[in-house]
Amino acid sequence: MNIWLAGARPRTLPAAIAPVLIGTSLINIDGKSINWINAFLALSVGLLLQIAVNYSNDYSDGIRGTDEVRVGPIRLVASGLKAPIQVKRAAILTYTFAALSGLLLSLRTSPLLMLVGAIAIVAAWKYTGGKNPYGYGGFGEVSVFIFFGLVATMGAYFAQSERITWQSFLLAIPMGALSCTILGLNNLRDRPKDALVGKKTLAVRLGDAKARQLIIALLLIALLTSFAAALITPFALLVLVTLPLQYILIKGVQSGAAGSALIPLLGKAGELQLLTSLLITLALSITKA
């Protein structure tokens, strides 16, 4: 069981939790109470999809041989700890549980969520799976921004309100940008090895210098849009607390850290996303409608 837990990559789970926290707490601005059942279902969908993506990526990269020599989290298939078919079944089972949670949520809110959920599952599998995985073509960041930023944040709010607002869109941007920052750091770490095996992530396509510039730009976008949340509530300026983490990350990226030296920065990026979401959630929670 510990092996499966490691393969689920628990350190990536804050990326699924953070947008749901914000989207759920935004209902306070409407002067309404949180629907805790819908909140739980939205969180379940996010967490299960994140775990399923981790398993399916492990399986797809493992059978392609692109994960054989890497640093970072454990790879179940590439390391030989689990057979490919076992990891594939784990991914399918987790996708199934995510779909069931999404179905229950859609029955409680809107059938539209069934369509969104189906698209999300297909996109998750096609990231590294299938004949032409788009993650191998440099489109991973686009997908992450859409599904772990816009869809996750706005979807969590929709589960509470059954509507989409400019506020939910604005708050989705920093979550998407920070999720892309984590992926960007991950791909920067793996860039030399990915280039050797033909995995053309955005970091491979851009090259080292421009990939670092993109990560810094994403961090700044996340910071600026978090500040812009002061248009929703002045308490959003609490995100000023994240400035030291922002500085550490930007300096670390600018320093030219590579390979395993980027792993601590990945941890910091996860902490930044979770801290940002907690501060914005607090800001929304103490705002009077």
Statement: residue 73 has pLDDT above 90: no
The SS3 of residue 109 is coil
Q: Which two tokens stand for residue 158?
A: 């929709």
Share of the chain above pLDDT 70, in %: 97
pLDDT tens per residue, range 81-98? 899 999 999 999 999 999
The SS3 of residue 137 is helix
The C-alpha atoms of residue 202 and residue 22 are separated, in whole angstroms, by 28
Q: Residue 51 belongs to a domain with what CATH number? A: 1.10.600
Got the DSSP string for 18-48?
HHHHHHHHGGGGGT----HHHHHHHHHHHHH
Q: What share of the chain is helix, strand, coil (3-state, %, to 5)?
A: 80, 0, 20
pLDDT tens per residue, range 97-121? 999 999 999 999 999 999 999 999 9
Residue 215's nearest CA partner among 259, 246, 172, 173 is 246
pLDDT at 70: 62
Counting other chains too, the contacts that 278-281 makes at CB distance below 8 Å and 24 or more residues apart are: 278/21, 279/236, 279/238, 279/239, 279/241, 279/242, 280/22, 280/25, 280/171, 280/174, 280/226, 280/229, 280/236, 280/238, 280/239, 281/21, 281/22, 281/25
Mean pLDDT of 3-32: 92
Q: Provide the domain limits for residue 128.
A: 2-285
The C-alpha atoms of residue 233 and residue 235 are separated, in whole angstroms, by 5
Q: Which two tokens stand for residue 140?
A: 């991973």
CB 13 within 8 A of CB 48: no
The C-alpha atoms of residue 87 and residue 103 are separated, in whole angstroms, by 24
124 contacts: CB under 8 Å, gap ≥ 6: 49, 52, 53, 56, 95, 147
pLDDT tens per residue, range 136-189? 999 999 999 999 999 999 999 999 999 999 999 999 999 999 999 999 999 999
Q: Which two tokens stand for residue 155?
A: 């979807």
pLDDT at 6: 86
The C-alpha atoms of residue 110 and residue 266 are separated, in whole angstroms, by 36
The SS3 of residue 79 is coil
Domain count, the chain: 1
65 contacts: CB under 8 Å, gap ≥ 6: 78, 197
Share of the chain above pLDDT 90, in %: 80
pLDDT tens per residue, range 209-263? 999 999 999 999 999 999 999 999 999 999 999 999 999 999 999 999 998 899 9
